[in-house]
């Protein structure tokens, strides 16, 4: 039971981190695309790359933090 609970916590951490990172990445990518005056369809590509990269990093770190926290007993 504890193993399933730990896996569920890590999965939830990755999902929340990915959602949060995606939102932040979309806002930041849009800002940077406008700031650097990226042209046409390259703007959409730039925003997508920033969104996915940020979601992956946030998800990785929040999942790792959940995994580390899962091993502690209080």
The residue ranges of every structural domain in the chain are 20-74
Interval 32-40 mean pLDDT: 96
**74 pLDDT higher than 80:** no
Residue 2 has pLDDT above 90, yes or no: no
Structure tokens at 23: 């939102």
Give buried/exposed letters for 9-42 (b at 16+ CB in 10 A, else e).
Answer: ebeebbeebbeebbeebbeebeeebeeeebeeee
Give the pLDDT confidence score for residue 71 in this predicted structure.
77
Check if the beta carbon of residue 14 is closer than 8 Å to that of residue 59: yes
pTM comes to 0.87
């Amino acid at each position: 039971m504890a193993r399933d609970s730990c896996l569920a916590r890590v999965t939830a951490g990755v999902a929340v981190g990915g959602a949060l990172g995606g939102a932040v990445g979309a806002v930041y990518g849009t800002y940077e695309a406008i700031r650097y005056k990226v042209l046409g369809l390259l703007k959409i590509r730039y925003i997508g790359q920033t969104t996915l990269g940020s979601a992956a990093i946030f998800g990785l770190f929040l999942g790792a933090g959940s995994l580390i926290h899962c091993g502690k007993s209080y």
